[in-house]
């Protein structure tokens, strides 16, 4: 799952191996023996364009012709909310060190303008488990819900997790009262020289 390594639900599940021949075989089995053409939208001015170019190069190895379309940020987000895209980036954050952010991004109650489910993914069992984990107070039971949700996610593959990018904050060493804010919000009145 594409969750922060600082989250209690993080684990070191093994990653799939890089296997271009196996990927070509899977594409052929899915009805694309000669590869396929896709368009990946990305916004200008941040990590999305270079990351898209890496994906473009890797997918070329398996016969997927990936056109990278650079867009202005608001236009890209509006297209994603409306479902007017083939492939696109969605960045989540570690604002809450919990699997809830990831779960909301895959729950059908949070489609389009209602939240972060921009893949318009729906799995009733996933949604049911997400509703249960939101109100469960027993951490071990919540973990069971997340484990089942994770398996559903991997089986259905509604989106492709990319990477976790930590937020960097730089401060002058003489500034007093600084701290690493888990919510990326700072109380500047606590700072002093």
Could you read off the pLDDT of 121-176 as tens digits, one per residue?
999 999 999 999 999 999 999 999 999 998 999 899 888 877 766 666 777 778 78
- Segments forming the whole domain that contains residue 61: 11-89
**Does residue 136 form part of some domain?**
no
- CATH number of the structural domain spanning residue 40: 3.10.105.10
Q: What is the pLDDT of residues 57-107, one digit of tens each?
A: 999 999 999 999 999 999 998 998 899 999 998 776 655 667 888 888 889
Find tokens 């500034």 and name the residue: 175
**Is 60 exceeded by the pLDDT of residue 184?**
no
Number of Cβ within a 10 Å radius of residue 140 = 7
Structural domain count of the chain = 1
User: Token pair of 133, please?
Assistant: 């984990």
Q: How many Å apart are CA 128 and CA 93, to the nearest integer?
A: 23
**Does residue 44 form part of some domain?**
yes
Strand 64-71 and strand 36-43: the pairing is: parallel
Task: Report the candidate in 44, 40, 64 with the shortest Cα–Cα distance to residue 52.
Answer: 40
**Structure confidence at residue 53 as a pLDDT band (50, 70, 90):** very high
| Ordered strands of the 87-88 beta sheet | 64-71, 36-43, 87-88
Helices (H), the chain: 20-29, 48-60, 73-82, 100-104, 124-135, 139-156
């Amino acid at each position: 799952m594409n969750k922060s390594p600082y989250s209690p639900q993080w684990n070191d599940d093994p990653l799939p191996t890089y296997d271009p021949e196996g990927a070509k075989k899977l594409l052929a089995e899915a009805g694309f023996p000669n590869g396929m053409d896709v368009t990946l939208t990305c916004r200008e001015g941040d990590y999305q364009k270079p990351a898209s170019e890496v994906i473009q190069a890797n997918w070329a190895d398996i016969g997927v012709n990936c056109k990278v379309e650079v867009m202005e940020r608001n236009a890209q987000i509006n297209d994603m909310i409306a479902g007017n895209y083939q492939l696109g980036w969605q960045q989540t954050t570690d604002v809450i060190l919990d699997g809830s952010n990831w779960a909301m991004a895959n729950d059908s109650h949070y489609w389009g303008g209602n939240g972060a489910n921009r893949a318009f993914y729906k799995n009733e069992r996933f949604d049911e488990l997400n509703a249960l984990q939101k109100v469960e107070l027993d951490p071990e039971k919540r973990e069971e819900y997340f484990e089942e949700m994770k398996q559903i996610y991997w089986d259905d593959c509604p989106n492709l997790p990319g990477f976790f990018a930590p937020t960097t904050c730089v401060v002058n060493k003489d500034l007093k009262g600084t701290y690493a804010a888990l919510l990326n919000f700072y109380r500047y009145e606590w700072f002093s020289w």
